[in-house]
A = this chain, B = another copy of it.
Amino acid sequence: MPNGSDTRPSSIIGIIGFGAFGQLIARHIRPYFRLCAYDPAPGLQPIAECHDVALTSLEMAASCPVVVLATPVGRLQEIVDAVAPHIQPGSLVLDVGSVKLGPADIMKRGLPAHAEIVATHPLFGPQSARGGIAGLKIAVCPIRGRRCFRLAAFLRHQLRLNVIMTTPEDHDREAATVQGLTHLIAKVLVQMEPLPTRMTTKSFDLLLEAVNMVRHDAPEVFEAIESANPYSSSVRRRFFELASALNAELADGPV
């Protein structure tokens, strides 16, 4: 701050990947930390609230005491390979992807042993966080080291998030249903547009509200949810089997 009244701690957080989600994180943690960010996109224009975040090199962002990997799940391996040589001893590295088993494994294998690791999944996105993030859920999986508990306390008390301590496996099992079904149904309904807006019921309005909350998610999010979560295909198979059984039943006449 210009007049030297900056009361923020001197900790610096480096954000790797400064897309919609990286900027959402920055917006909410900037009152508490100094931030720098790296994004591979040339000429990236952050949203107004993130204009004061220093855009730096990958090396600089990766050598911060706390490093947040906010890249698509599908690109995590290459990012971990790129940041690994720059991670400082005792640093904390965390990811924010929609899937946890694969990413936890990639980080455990790819990051130096002197780094602490936490795998997280904020169960919200730019749409659902529009009214603020207080009360929203975040899954936190301790992977290596004990700083996950300080992190959880920060998320709970400063950001007022609903912190769910879990394991990558339990996370992926539930998320396969929660996100798998939501995105699947949203994909189909968006393809059926234009949908009615006049003669709607309250439950249809809720359905569309759910769809509108995920429809603008990056394609990589859908890909991660449906392909990188090992439990997704069986949830999907179950949904399609039940749906086609119902279809057959209805085609045969009144149920």
Which residues of chain A have a CB within 8 Å of any CB of chain B? 74, 123-124, 128, 136-137, 139, 164, 166, 170-171, 174-175, 177-179, 181-182, 184-189, 191-192, 195-196, 198-204, 206-207, 209-211, 213-214, 219, 222-223, 226-227, 233, 236, 238-240, 242-244, 246-247, 250-251, 253-255
Nearest residue, chain B, Cβ from A243 = B188
Complex alpha-carbon distance, A107 and B123, angstroms: 51
CB-based contact B123/A199 at 8 Å: yes
Interchain CB contact under 8 A, B236 and A200: no
A251 (CB) vs chain B CBs: closest residue: B233
Residues of the B chain whose Cβ atoms lie less than 8 Å from the Cβ of A247: 236, 240
CB pair A192 B137 closer than 8 Å: no
Partner of A192, one of B187, B226, B238, B254: B238
* Alpha-carbon distance A255/B175, docked complex (angstroms): 19
For A190, the closest partner residue in chain B by CB is B242
- State how many copies of this chain the complex holds: 2
The 9 closest A-B pairs by CB, nearest first: A206-B210, A174-B199, A203-B213, A128-B202, A203-B210, A174-B196, A178-B204, A207-B210, A188-B242
Q: Which residues of B lie under 8 Å from residue A239 when comparing CB positions?
A: 188, 192
In the bound complex, what is the Cα–Cα distance between A219 and B174 (angstroms)?
A: 30
With A239-B192, A242-B191, A247-B240 known as contacts, the answer to whether A198 contacts B164 (CB < 8 A) is: yes
9 contacts across the A-B interface (CB closer than 8 A): A123-B199, A164-B198, A182-B203, A188-B243, A188-B246, A204-B210, A222-B255, A223-B254, A236-B247
Decide if B240 touches A201 in the complex (CB within 8 Å): no
**Which chain B positions have C-beta within 8 A of A209?**
203, 206
Expressed in whole angstroms, the Cα–Cα distance for A253 and B198 within the complex equals 38
- Which residues of chain B have C-beta atoms less than 8 A from A171's C-beta? 199
Q: Are A227 and B254 in contact (CB under 8 A)?
A: yes
A196 touches B213 (CB 8 A): no
The chain B residue sitting closest to A98, CB to CB, is: B201
